[in-house]
Amino acid sequence: MADTIIRAKDESAAKQVLGVWITLSKSDKHIINQIRYEVKQLCNTLQHKLITDKQLQYVYNAVIIPRLEYRTQLTFLSKNMCHSLMVPFRTLFKHKLNFNKCISNTILHTSLLYQLHSFYNIKIQSMFTNLMCQLNDSDITGHITLIHFCQLQSYFNLSDNPLICWPFNSAILFYDPIANLLSVLPDFHLSFNCHSSWSNKIHGNFTYVSAILNQSLYIKTLPSFKAHRIMFVEQLVNFDDTYLINWQDRCLTHSLSTNKIPQ
C-alpha cells in the first residue's frame, strides 16, 4: 500500500457522486450530453408505443422532468439550452397528436390544455429552493454558503453582499451556478429578505463603478479595476468632480500597487 500511486483525474473528466456528475473544470458539457441522450432514448422508446396524450403528459411531468432536474442540480442551464434539450420530446408529443411540428409550443405548456412543465422554470424553482435551504441552515452548510457569497462579492468587486446588490442580468452567463441564478431571479420576481448580519457594505465614496457601467463593459474592465483598487467613480475624478484625472495625478492621490500606466 505504501507504494501505491494515486493519480488525480484530468480537470475535464466527469465524476459521479450520488447520481450527479461533476468536473473540476466546472464544465457542463457532460451533463448536457447526458440529458440529450436520456431524452433521445426515451423518445425512441415511446415512438412506436400506443400511448395517449395524457400518458405522455404524465411521463414528461412525473418522470422526465424530476430526473433531469436531479441530474442538473449543480449545473445552471440557460433558457435557450433547456428549450433545445426538450425539442425531441415536444416533437414526439406533436407527432402523437397529429399536430404540425411547427405549431406553437404554447399549446403544450398552457394550463388550459396539456400543461407540460417548463424544464427551465422547474430548474430555477428548484435551485432557488435549495439555495434558500442552504442560507437558512444554521450549521456548516449555511456558513459555507455565506462565505461563498463573500467570495462572489470580492471577485466581482461589488459594494455589498450579492444577495443584496447584484447588478447583472441573464444576458451574461458565468461559470458559477449561484451567480447565474442571481442573474435570472428578477425575471421570476424573486428576491431575498436578508438578515442585517449578512450585509458586507463597502463604505467610501458615493457612486459605485458597477452602478454606472453596463454589465458587459464592467465585466470586461473588472480585472483592471480590481488590480488598481478602483470601486468608486470618485477615485477617477478630481476633487470638484469636474473632470477625469490622468494617471499621474491618480498616482499622487492614491496608493497603488503599480506605477505602470494602464492601456
Q: DSSP secondary-structure letter at 83?
A: H
Same domain as 226, residue 170: no
Same domain as 228, residue 175: no
Amino acid at 203: H
pLDDT of 184 reads: 94
Is residue 233 one of the residues assigned to a domain? yes
Cell 424544464, located at residue: 119
pLDDT of 156 reads: 93
Is residue 186 one of the residues assigned to a domain? yes
Q: Is the dihedral of CA 104, 108, 112, 117 positive or negative?
A: negative
**Higher pLDDT among residues 4 and 255, named by residue:** 4
Same domain as 109, residue 21: yes
Same domain as 151, residue 113: no
pLDDT of 249 reads: 64
**Average pLDDT over all residues of the chain:** 84
pLDDT greater than 70 at residue 48: yes
Cell 451567480, located at residue: 179
How far from 86 is each of 23, 47, 93, 118, 239, CA to CA, in Å?
A: 24, 15, 11, 9, 57
pLDDT greater than 90 at residue 147: yes
**Higher pLDDT among residues 65 and 228, named by residue:** 65
- How far is the first Cα of the chain from the last one, in angstroms, to the nearest whole number? 55
Is residue 261 one of the residues assigned to a domain? no
pLDDT category at 145 given cuts 50, 70, 90 is very high
Number of structural domains in the chain = 3
Per-residue pLDDT of 213-261, as tens digits, reads 888 899 998 988 888 788 888 777 776 667 677 666 666 556 555 555 5
Is residue 1 one of the residues assigned to a domain? no
pLDDT of 221 reads: 87
Is residue 204 one of the residues assigned to a domain? no
Domain that holds residue 159: 137-198
Is residue 163 one of the residues assigned to a domain? yes
Boundary residue ending a domain (198, 223, 241): 198
Nearest to 178 by CA among 145, 213, 143: 145
Same domain as 113, residue 27: yes
Same domain as 90, residue 22: yes
